[in-house]
Amino acid sequence: SQKIEQNSEALNIQEGKTATLTCNYTNYSPAYLQWYRQDPGRGPVFLLLIRENEKEKRKERLKVTFDTTLKQSLFHITASQPADSATYLCAAWMDSSYKLIFGSGTRLLVRP
């Protein structure tokens, strides 16, 4: 079956470093991947989208890459800040359906 996998272990980094989160997909080729941020007790909020024909997309301190050979997307936050601490979710559109399927998310902790 189609799956999206994210590292379930929390990522703990020092303020100022670059955080890198991984999203892997199996058994299909999504037309695009979306990344969302979720804070405790809140719903996810959309951050970025990258299409299969785009290698990289940037927005301020955020960068997303899409490697169709490795079946993987990487999400980078440069110059990380404690305010970036949250859970980050990856989502993919299932081609020819009306469904957006999510990974389980990776929790990021940025230490001051």
User: Which chain residues interact with another protein by CB under 8 A?
Assistant: 4, 6, 8, 31-32, 34, 36, 41-46, 49, 51, 89, 91, 93, 97-105
Contact partners, residue 69, CB within 8 Å, separation at least 6: none
Shortest distance, position 84 Cβ to another protein, whole Å: 19
Q: Residue 5 — φ and ψ, nearest 5°?
A: -125, 135
Shortest distance, position 78 Cβ to another protein, whole Å: 23
Which residue, 79 or 100, has its beta carbon nearer to another protein?
A: 100
Of 59, 68, 60, 78, which is closest to residue 21 (Cα–Cα)? 78
For residue 1, the one-letter residue type is S
Parallel, antiparallel or unpaired: strands 19-26 and 72-77:
antiparallel
Which residue, 42 or 111, has its beta carbon nearer to another protein?
A: 42
Which residue, 80 or 105, has its beta carbon nearer to another protein?
A: 105
